[in-house]
Amino acid sequence: MLHHLSFAVADLARAAAFYDAVLAALGYRRVWTSDTAVGYGIEDDNDLFAIKQRGPVSPPASGFHLAFAAPSREAVDRFHEAALVHGGRDQGAPGLRPHYGPDYYAAFALDPDGYWIEAVINSA
């Protein structure tokens, strides 16, 4: 359904260091870089997610979050660990979330600009 999504960030270098680490844990990488933005995905020049340098940043209100697909539960664990090491704040440690389904394994964090992000795998 979605082609791509982008977040405004206050400090591109800080945000790029954060997303380089958390997305690498899930198997994604930088696919392009400019002076004011960085794109992430799998294929060169084909971003699925981007961060863009902007003035003051106001993340969306409660209720909005972005969930990144994880290839394994171990990747979800690595995502969460990388988020905390690189300036993110814990919003839910890795673990099963049976209220979403019997195999829903996820972790949640706030990025350095306050965006709520998740890594999830929904299979055993």
Q: Summarize pLDDT for 5-19 with one digit per residue, the tens.
A: 999 999 999 999 999
Partners of 105 in beta bridges: 96, 121
| C-alpha span between 98 and 96 (Å, rounded) | 6
Contact 16, 53 (CB under 8 A): no
> What pLDDT was estimated at residue 100?
96
> What pLDDT was estimated at residue 61?
87
> What pLDDT was estimated at residue 81?
98
Contact 41, 51 (CB under 8 A): no
> What pLDDT was estimated at residue 1?
86
> What pLDDT was estimated at residue 124?
83
- Name the pTM for this structure: 0.95
Phi/psi at 75 (nearest 5 deg)? -65, -40
| C-alpha span between 90 and 93 (Å, rounded) | 7
> What pLDDT was estimated at residue 55?
81
Regions of the chain with pLDDT less than 70: none
> What pLDDT was estimated at residue 122?
97
